[in-house]
Homo-oligomer: A and B are copies of this chain.
Amino acid sequence: MKIELLPVVKLEQLTPTIYALHLRSTYIAGTIQPGQFVNIKVQQSNYPLLRRPFSVASKEDDTITIIFDVVGEGTHILSKKEPGDVIDVLGPLGHPFTMPGRGSIPVLVAGGLGMAPMPILTQTLADHGITDVVTFLGARSKDSLIDYKLKNVHFATDDNSKGFHGTVVALLDAWLDSVKAGKVTVYACGPNPMLRALQSALRKRSVGGQVSLECVMACGVGLCQGCPVASVKGDKKYELVCKDGPVFDIHSVII
């Protein structure tokens, strides 16, 4: 990990509130693994005070991309960046997704902006020769379904504006009827309520997988102990999302 001032290559607006920010970093592009994140100081002043964590969504040559939704002051400031600006980025951080066992089909399950780590995961799976991914993407409505660089996507929307009418977990669950439990590895990211539903759906079917968690972070590197998630494995009551995660065995954490 390093702290670098990265030049903005491009800011792409994907929806009224969702953007893809492309930054140049030979170092991060060369070392990033899917599921890892970067911690961004959105501007030089002390406001906002803390860095903001974002999954690296994809990489191409010396460029990395983050996809973000404007939810507060920090992401608002990011949404005003333009080529010529530089941004203070710390990364890559955290524990990545690992490749599925031989013969296991990777099933990517994302809710809303939980899609962020999926493009680079898809890319990395392909680099490992694994191209039979199945992706399930859910959102409130079709306007927030971002299928940026995703493959073989099944959509679900709460408002029935695209694809399956219902949650992405319900859609996945129905689909799992058609496959053997041992044959798939789930990769998931999304809001906690969705992840809890997913956990119990998978547990019933004894399907395993990996989940990328989000939580408020102060440092992103293990200094503050501010990002615990309760764990059912090992002797520690809590693991740290920033250092031990953000990717965990989906059945090891109490979300």
Contacts and interface: CB of A to CB of B under 8 A. Distances in A.
How many chain A residues sit at the interface, stated as a range, is under 10
Interface in A24-72: 45, 47
3 contacts: A45-B47, A45-B73, A47-B47
Contacts of A47: 45, 47
A45 B80 CA distance: 15
Contacts of A73: 45
Nearest to A76: B45
Interface of A is mostly: loop
A67 to B, nearest CB: 24
Interface of A: 45, 47, 73
A205 B45 CA distance: 49
Nearest to A77: B45
A73 B47 CA distance: 11
A45 B46 CA distance: 13
Contacts of A45: 47, 73
Nearest to A73: B45
A79 to B, nearest CB: 14
Give the 3 A-B CB pairs with smallest separation, nearest first. Answer: A47-B47, A45-B73, A45-B47
Nearest to A45: B73
Nearest to A49: B47
A81 to B, nearest CB: 12
A41 to B, nearest CB: 15
A74 to B, nearest CB: 11
A176 to B, nearest CB: 46
